[in-house]
Amino acid sequence: MLLLAALVATATSSCGFAQEIPMQSPTFITKSKGSVRLQCNFKDVSEAFDTTIIHWYQQKANKSPQRILYFSNGKVVEEGFQAHRYLVEKVSHQKLCVLTINDIIPDDTATYYCAYWRSHRDAYVKIFGTGTKLIVSSKVSSQPAHSEILQKNHENETTYVCLIEKFYPEVIRVTWTDEAHKEVTDNVVQGDPWKATEEGEYSISTWLTVSAANKDKNYHCKYEHESKEHSLQTQEFKKPPSWEEDCSTYPGNSTVFNRDHLMHRTAYLVYIVLLLKSFIYYLIVLFFIYRRWAPTKHEGKKA
């Protein structure tokens, strides 16, 4: 999600001005009708805000970003789009640029980026904002119904699996942080959302692997969905020796499973698959027996 912003952030970081990226809010929004306001905050940008020309881009799924307008000297310059539906305003004292889209329609579903030109080493580089994804849908947004952290211990490392279930829309941001609330990116695997229910709700999981030296540290799995943020913690306190080894529930909506419990889950799924395969083989054998038996029965009736 928001792939363009991630690529731009990487590029600008290598150029030495990652802090110059405009921050957009909200990160994602779902609405069926009416108007939406997309904010672009320039408070961390050193360029003179009042004289900066601000561009707005629209990126639809599997397509490249297209500029829809730009704001210069208090005027909106359109790029052939519906002028009556787009309104841009600058709030100088807050260093905000706000794009309002009126009378939204399903075709407005896209990710929107603000952007500006920044001088760098006798040249100009276009810097994109973090992006806002807009989903126009009549389906009501729903927060995750369940979330938990699963733990699997190996000899020299521990793997935490953060599972977040049954939310809509599929746009969600999941990050890992350490005890100092710094984002952890090493040894993290991020899965894609998958449709978990017939009602169109989604689930997602992400993995964090830590070494044995860090197994006693606390880590947080944080997710942002629509306007809600929530954080799960891997360890709330030391587990007493008297607790069951197969399954332990900690406070804070975190569930920690050891290796045996995960193996039992896997074994159960394998058993179901083998049972289904045996049933299919049984049907095939019955079919061939019937085909051999049917002609013999027919000849007996003739005799």
Mean pLDDT of the chain: 78
Predicted pLDDT of residue 89: 93
Q: What is the mean pLDDT of residues 244-251?
A: 37
Per-residue 3-state assignment (H helix, E strand, C coil) for the chain: CCHHHHHHHHHHHHHCCHHHCCEEECCEEEECCCCEEEEEECCCCCCCCCCCCEEEEEECCCCCCEEEEEEECCEEEECCCCHHHEEEEEEHHHCEEEEEECCCCHHHCEEEEEEEEEECCCCEEEEECCCEEEEECCCCCECCCEEEEEEEECCCEEEEEEEEEEEECCCCEEEEECCCCCEECCCEEECCCEECCCCCCEEEEEEEEEEHHHCCCCCEEEEEECCEEEEEECCCCCCCCCCCCCEEEECCCEEEECHHHHHHHHHHHHHHHHHHHHHHHHHHHHHHHHHHHHHHHHHHHHC
Q: Of 145-154, 178-187, 283-292, 294-303, give the lowest mean pLDDT range.
A: 294-303
Check: CB of residue 132 under 8 Å from CB of residue 26.
Answer: yes
Q: What is the mean pLDDT of residues 111-118?
A: 94
In terms of pLDDT, which residue wins out, 145 or 3?
A: 145
Q: Of 47-56, 215-224, 231-240, give the lowest mean pLDDT range.
A: 231-240
Strand partners, 104: none
Q: What is the mean pLDDT of residues 280-299?
A: 72
Query: Does the pLDDT of residue 203 top 50, yes or no?
Result: yes
Q: Above pLDDT 70, what percent of the chain?
A: 75
- Which residue bears the tokens 């001005």? 17
Predicted pLDDT of residue 274: 67
